[in-house]
Structure formats: structure tokens, C-alpha cells
Amino acid sequence: MRVMSPKQRARNLRRNSTDAERALWLLFRDRRLSGHKFRRQVPIGPYIVDFVCYQSKLIVEVDGGKHQEQGQYDNTRTAWLESEGFTVLRF
């Protein structure tokens, strides 16, 4: 089994977005949200975040059902991202 690099994994996640991610991307893309530039499925450190605005240091995560089972992982991930100066919003 071949292991994907973070860049390849992010690209794969962009191609296979959830319905919720696609809906939010329509709101975020092309600086539609108060002129802020968002990127989607971006590797940051050891993690890939759903949406990030570097200008505002804001990360938006869209959690599906699988996240109910991985609460400790999500908490660790959020703590690391916040230690890097980001604010994490999780929906």
C-alpha cells in the first residue's frame, strides 16, 4: 500500500469534498466573505485543515459523523493548531 504525502492527501480531499464542505466553499471562495481569502484542504504541520484564512489566522472545520468517534484526536489537533496562533471553529 502506497502512503500519500500530505500534499497528495489534501488534493484527494479537495476532489472528494462532502456536501457540507462544498456548500461552505461556495461561500468562502473568491474572497466572498468580507474580502478574506480562504484556502481549502490545506496541510498545516502534521494536519490537513478543511478551510483556512491565513490573514485572520482562522481555521474552519466541518465535522461529520466520524468525528464523534475521534474526540480525543480532534482535541489534540485543535490544541496544536491553536498553539500555532490559529483560532479553530468546528461545526
The answer to whether the CB of 55 falls within 8 A of the CB of 44 is no
pLDDT at 65 over 70: no
- Domains of the chain as residue ranges with CATH: 6-90 (3.40.960.10)
Which three three-digit cell numbers place residue 51?
Answer: 478551510
pLDDT at 67 over 60: no
**Given pLDDT bands bounded at 50, 70 and 90, which one contains residue 63?**
confident
Residues 54-90 as b or e (16 or more Cβ within 10 Å = b): eeeebbbbbeeeeeeeeeeebeebbeebeeeebebee
**What does the pLDDT look like over 75-90, one tens digit per residue?**
999 999 999 999 999 9
The answer to whether the CB of 41 falls within 8 A of the CB of 48 is yes
Residues 27-56, mean pLDDT to the nearest whole number? 94
Q: State the chain's mean pLDDT as an integer.
A: 89
